[in-house]
Structure 1
Amino acid sequence: MTPHTDIRDVRLLYGCMGLGGGWDRQPWTAADVTHAEAAVQAALDAGFTAFDHADIYRHGKSESVFGEVLARASGLRDRIVLQTKCGIALPDGDRAGSYDLRGRTILRRVEQSLTRLRTDFIDVLLLHRPDPLARPQEIAEALRTLHEQGMVRQFGVSNMSAAQIALLRKSVDVPLVVDQLEMSLARRDWVESGVLLNTPAWAGGGFPHGTVEYCVAHDIQVQAWGPLAQGRFTGGADTPAARLIADLAARKGTTPETVLLWWLQRHPAGIAPVVGTTRPERILACRDAVHGTPALTHEEWYGLWTAARGAPLP
């Protein structure tokens, strides 16, 4: 794989939010780099070739430490796909946190990410969160500039609904090819919205129905952040869903982590999970999901869904 790879051909990404030390403004340390090198090497050993960042992760230290890893590993940049995000302003002193997709902010934040990552270009840039004050035409001009200057090759969004993407696409003349959303066997509203829409059970549902379908219809890759559900189904968890996952993993000769990822990948939308654990052994446990077809039958997929729900489908 090369940096010219279309992100839509990637089946699994490694999420770098856990790299770089604490969520503070203290400088990163040599120990942080060692920790990142171990995680990145495990990801490479497992077959990952795409790495997901955001400019706010660890107040920029995730990108900076990853840039140090790239600088130490000759030729690695040419073998991977780098994805990052911009659009969130973290709280700072008396200033509240906010979302900022003004054109000049997008340009500035991308330049800062390039510096931290020590690279000349970003393969994929995602707009991290919807900004209610954003002007689509202003976003369009910024993305066009980044593309024409060779700073970014592909673009997408994160945490946006079908309606928000559709509005952007009316102004943006570069393709939007990704929508990254929280999706897992624990966070199932993306799939439940389609079957609970006309039932009382969906009265409190918050996921915008039709978003996944919109992405499929417009060749937009759906990426899933948090796909391992923060370990609530693995690592000794004792629930009906966790027991079923462990049983399926044992019968299929794989790991519980892989079964969780297969559950997402088995969906016809071609969901690409973003695995964010920093533990090398858990990263390596995902290797069977990097290549091949998810080995879950129709019945097994529904069995996992029902077990996680704790109730039958309507």
Structure 2
Amino acid sequence: MKVLYQNIEALRVPRVALGCMRIGGLEAGQAEAVVKTALELGINFFDHADIYGGGECETVFARAIGMNSAVREKIILQSKCGIRPGVMFDFSKEHILEAVDGSLQRLNTDYLDILLLHRPDALAEPDEVAEAFERLSESGKVRCFGVSNHNPMQIELLQRSVRQRLAVNQLQLSITNATMISTGLNVNMENTAAVNRDGSVLDYCRLKDITIQPWSPFQYGFFEGVFLGSPKYPALNRKLEEIAAKYGITPTGAAVAWLLRHPARLQPVCGTMSPERLREIAAATEVTLSREDWYAVYQAAGNILP
């Protein structure tokens, strides 16, 4: 089984990425098994952040994959910076440069394919961010740039100063956390779903050819739990089981296929550390839900049509 591919800038990337936020909690053999399975499936895109496990996740990953120049040529590495846990968000030039150097050291590599700014910094100076990005680009330490959890105007503000195109926006999106989709359906309606809290970020990213990377694609709330098998979502789970049977995949695969069906060409970041679950996720890239099935899943999660 091989996952299908799409492009981010000049990079040919798999339609799903492996999020490595939890790899730091695995034994060495377990981490190696997850990475090996991902590569066998064609999932060669690995998402990190300098704060995951206090940096330990990047170190564990580098050991698990046996990082060397030959391995590095076959994979795509993305990391994020800008959060100083429990203190503040920090887009200062000094912090960005220091954070990237730290990630490179832990990942045992000379460059990142993609660097994302993790969460908006209220004190961000776009010109200062631009200086950091220019230095990282000229030194070859970062090849492509993007953001995470940013709205359209925040991206516009950064892009006015930053020479490099911001090509990625990593956002929370799942069947049960789909307000960026719901606001587009409930236009001019007097209901809570019509409240636009992110500035039409979905449509904006499509207009700008910015790849949206849904994070926590199986979660409901803000890390409150997984909706798969949850008694809180009986109708959704029944529908996912029905869809899974119809397309020859699992409910996990059906949840991913729901995201992949959207024309925005989403690239879900899946944080499973289970080789078997990875296989279920990869299988989703080979099916295309019908329009009827996509809307049926959407409504089974409690989302309404006007």
Same fold by TM-score greater than 0.5? yes
Contact 2:179/2:193, CA 8 A, preserved across alignment: no
2:160 to 158, 167, 170: 170
Give me the whole-angstrom Cα distance separating, in 1, the residues matched to 2:293 and 2:141.
Answer: 44
**AA paired with 1:201?**
N
- The 3-state SS of whatever aligns with 1:200 is coil
Contact 2:150/2:169, CA 8 A, preserved across alignment: yes
User: What is the match of residue 15 of structure 2?
Assistant: 11
With normalisation by structure 1, the TM-score equals 0.88
Give me the whole-angstrom Cα distance separating, in 2, the residues matched to 1:299 and 1:62.
Answer: 40
User: What is the match of residue 33 of structure 2?
Assistant: 38
Q: CA RMSD in A?
A: 2.2
After the TM superposition, which segments of 4 or more aligned residues of structure 1 sit over 6 Å from their partners? 235-238
Please state how far the C-alpha of 1:203 moved relative to its aligned partner. 7.0
Deviation per residue, 1:292-313 (Å, 9 max, x gap): 4x4211111000001111x641
Contact 1:234/1:257, CA 8 A, preserved across alignment: no
2:202 is the alignment partner of 1:209: no
Give me the whole-angstrom Cα distance separating, in 2, the residues matched to 1:225 and 1:179.
Answer: 10
**AA paired with 2:123?**
L
Contact 1:157/1:176, CA 8 A, preserved across alignment: yes
Give me the whole-angstrom Cα distance separating, in 2, the residues matched to 1:151 and 1:74.
Answer: 15
**AA paired with 1:302?**
Y
1:68 to 63, 88, 91: 63
Contact 2:16/2:267, CA 8 A, preserved across alignment: yes
**AA paired with 1:308?**
A
Deviation per residue, 1:77-101 (Å, 9 max, x gap): 221100000000013xxxxx31001
1:253 to 244, 248, 251: 248
Indicate how the Cα distance of structure 1 residues 147 and 287 shifts in structure 2: closer, same or farther if over 3 A, else same. Answer: same
Contact 1:36/1:65, CA 8 A, preserved across alignment: yes
User: What is the match of residue 291 of structure 2?
Assistant: 298
Gaps of 5+ in 2: 220-224
Q: Share of identical aligned residues, percent?
A: 40
Deviation per residue, 1:100-144 (Å, 9 max, x gap): 010111000000000000001000000000000010000001001
Give me the whole-angstrom Cα distance separating, in 2, the residues matched to 1:207 and 1:313.
Answer: 19
Contact 1:233/1:242, CA 8 A, preserved across alignment: yes
**AA paired with 2:269?**
V
With normalisation by structure 2, the TM-score equals 0.90
User: What is the match of residue 188 of structure 1?
Assistant: 178
Contact 1:46/1:286, CA 8 A, preserved across alignment: no
Moved more, 231-240 or 169-178: 231-240
Give me the whole-angstrom Cα distance separating, in 2, the residues matched to 1:234 and 1:81.
Answer: 32
**AA paired with 2:245?**
A
- The 3-state SS of whatever aligns with 2:301 is helix
